[in-house]
Amino acid sequence: MGAYDENGQRRQTAVEKLFAVAGRTALVTGAASGLGRRMATLLVEAGASVYFSDIDREAAESAALDASTEGQGEARAVHLDVSQVESVRTAFAEIRTRSQSQLDILICAAGISKAQWIEDMSASSWQRVLDVNLTGTFLCCQEAVRLMLPRKSGRIINIASIAATWAPRPQRFNGGYNYSASKAGVLGLTLRLAVELAPHGITANCVSPGMMLTPLTTHALSDEQTRAEALAAIPMGRLGTPSDLDGITLFLCSSSSAYLTGQNIVVDGGYSLW
pLDDT tens-digit map of 161-217? 999 999 877 677 778 999 999 999 999 999 999 999 999 999 999 999 999 999 888
Q: What is the pLDDT at residue 1?
A: 42
Active site amino acids? 179
Mean pLDDT of 114-137: 95
Buried b (16+ CB within 10 A) or exposed e, 177-214: bbbbbbbbbbbebbbebbeebeeeebbbbbbbbbbbeb
Q: Which domains does the chain have, with CATH numbers?
A: 14-268 (3.40.50.720)
Q: How far apart are CA 171 and CA 168, in angstroms?
A: 7
The whole-model pTM stands at: 0.94
Q: What is the pLDDT at residue 142?
A: 98
